[in-house]
Structure 1
């Protein structure tokens, strides 16, 4: 004989040779013979056993348990004290009836969208992510929803929840802001057989999402190819000198040539232009030599122009001095003043012409 003490809110199952004999609730009991005792806390779920079907044959125990059978196309949300606890998937789950801690909500998962009655704040809790797919569309984005490979709708910024089931869900996120595309290292041969590498840039914005991503595949790649072919065509018809002189006009022509075709892709090209023209080494050296020669010629021309202007100024001054004796005397005084600033002492003899004597002094 042994004593059995069952605590409050607990249940004890007494087995003899594997067979359930009695179910005891809170209290004190005496057991006779060899018995096996399993005690359960009624505030927790009833642990699954391989012999559960046999245990449920006991009327007393069956009356105390709530059996929740979840089908393959269902989930059951479990709340403990009205706070979300976990999700029950397909299978059998058992809870004690006498406890008021647990409540249950059953939902069908055959559809696409998660029921709006399910609070958003529990989507990422416990094992909920195992049953729900969560997508976020950013503030500067649009989402294209495809269900089983078929386009369904355009999604605006926000969060979207779908059941994890056999339905295939795909969301393509598209940035609807103005964007830039760099086309670097385009190797192109000009009309006069000069091989160049051109870095090109274009600015664009998605205008029609359905045209761009439903009616067309790899729309950015298609746009790239269109602009690339137009760039090669335009540059290939120009000589190197023409290209260097008309880079800005070339960008305008390319923009006009591609705009209509790219519009059919659902994209608007806002602007485009040549960023860099990279020359081969030998061509670059020749261009540097030409540039140096041009600068030297410009420098020589400026020097000659200045010399001519100085000579003309001296000639005009000489004519004025020849015609005006007073101006000649003023010029003499100017020279004397300048010399006095630089020479410590000058000795003059006789009373001859001062300017003549100064010339004699500085000619020695």
Structure 2
């Protein structure tokens, strides 16, 4: 009895004789004698072409079969994006693949992972299906990114998110903060021209403007700190202590000017600088306090003498006016009497003479009684 094999419209058959592939079979009904060694392997065209226990290369010599297959040969340095009717299906790693190009149209996008950055034609919507085959990096809005392949600098990256294929090339992105930054120098010991050792607290603000230049400098912040330290030593060492205390603002202006002279070599722009504190040794502080106290006492004495002189001059002017004007003299008598009355409860006057003479007599008597 013949063996009947029916191949549906969504299927294809592979005819084998004595285990060897002979040809492909189109949809239809096939009868085989039980006395032959023929066998038919039925394949669903909606599934990948993958005959069980057979190498794919065995079938690639059949030109008739190849007309219905889409072959994807992925090299060691490649990935391949597989699409069916324009819709992404999967990512193919190195190897050889075949798909029935019958009911669906299979297409492929070849990716050379020796250039790991995603090409523009890669739709980011397929990322969830690429898990494990790519890596991403993000450069913040206030940052600049520097791209390296195998530790070799490639280019500067603007803010955004970047995707790279995993493969033989290692990818690294270093980011630099472009916002305004502050460098604090605290407790820096410096000797003035007159051999006074003091401690200086200094601050400066800067911003990176050339990321590539800044990245060329090893231990960037340490080197900027040393630059600031040397400029301060250079300037403060030419000043005496009194000049230094008097010229704090000039120090900041000089240091900022010198820093910006060097800024091009560091890829930065220095925005401002200033002296926060000048800390003196204890003995120097005591001496300065003594000097300051003596200066204030001298100023107080000058003010006291000036007030005494003004008061005496005022009395002289008053006496002159009283001598020239009898009415003013009489008013002064009354003013004098008013002041006495504020201090004394009762006053009795007897005898002759004018009022001022009697009051003087009264005061003389009271003074003698004391």
TM-score, with structure 2 as normaliser: 0.66
TM-aligned CA deviation for residue 188 of structure 1: 0.9
2:264 equivalent to 1:254: no
Name the structure 2 match of 1:263.
264
Q: Describe how 1:235-246 pairs up with structure 2 within 5 A.
A: 235-246=236-247
Name the structure 1 match of 2:194.
192
2:168 equivalent to 1:161: no
2:232 equivalent to 1:231: yes
Q: Describe how 1:1-364 pairs up with structure 2 within 5 A.
A: 108=111, 109-120=113-124, 123=127, 128=131, 130-214=132-216, 216-340=217-341, 342-343=342-343, 345-350=345-350, 352-359=353-360, 360-361=362-363, 363-364=366-367
Partner of 2:266, secondary structure, is coil
Residues in 2 aligned to 1:196 and 1:275: alpha-carbon distance in whole angstroms: 13
Residues in 2 aligned to 1:305 and 1:343: alpha-carbon distance in whole angstroms: 31
Residues in 2 aligned to 1:331 and 1:194: alpha-carbon distance in whole angstroms: 63
Please list every run of 5 or more consecutive structure 2 residues that lacks an aligned counterpart in the other structure. Answer: 1-50, 56-71, 98-103
Residues in 2 aligned to 1:121 and 1:344: alpha-carbon distance in whole angstroms: 106
TM-aligned CA deviation for residue 316 of structure 1: 1.5
TM-aligned CA deviation for residue 106 of structure 1: 7.3
Partner of 1:264, secondary structure, is helix
Partner of 2:271, secondary structure, is strand
TM-aligned CA deviation for residue 122 of structure 1: 6.4
Residues in 2 aligned to 1:320 and 1:280: alpha-carbon distance in whole angstroms: 60
> In the alignment, is the contact (CA less than 8 A) between 2:207 and 2:268 conserved in 1?
yes
TM-aligned CA deviation for residue 254 of structure 1: 2.7
TM-aligned CA deviation for residue 54 of structure 1: 5.8
**Cα distance, 1:92–1:228 mapped onto 2, change above 3 Å:** same
Residues in 1 aligned to 2:239 and 2:152: alpha-carbon distance in whole angstroms: 47
Name the structure 1 match of 2:58.
none
TM-score, with structure 1 as normaliser: 0.67
Residues in 2 aligned to 1:175 and 1:357: alpha-carbon distance in whole angstroms: 94
**Cα distance, 1:205–1:307 mapped onto 2, change above 3 Å:** same
**Cα distance, 1:120–1:185 mapped onto 2, change above 3 Å:** farther
TM-aligned CA deviation for residue 339 of structure 1: 4.6
Please list every run of 5 or more consecutive structure 1 residues that lacks an aligned counterpart in the other structure. Answer: 1-51, 57-67, 94-99
Residues in 2 aligned to 1:104 and 1:346: alpha-carbon distance in whole angstroms: 128
**Cα distance, 1:322–1:160 mapped onto 2, change above 3 Å:** same
**Cα distance, 1:288–1:85 mapped onto 2, change above 3 Å:** farther
Larger-gyration structure (1/2): 2
Partner of 1:272, secondary structure, is strand
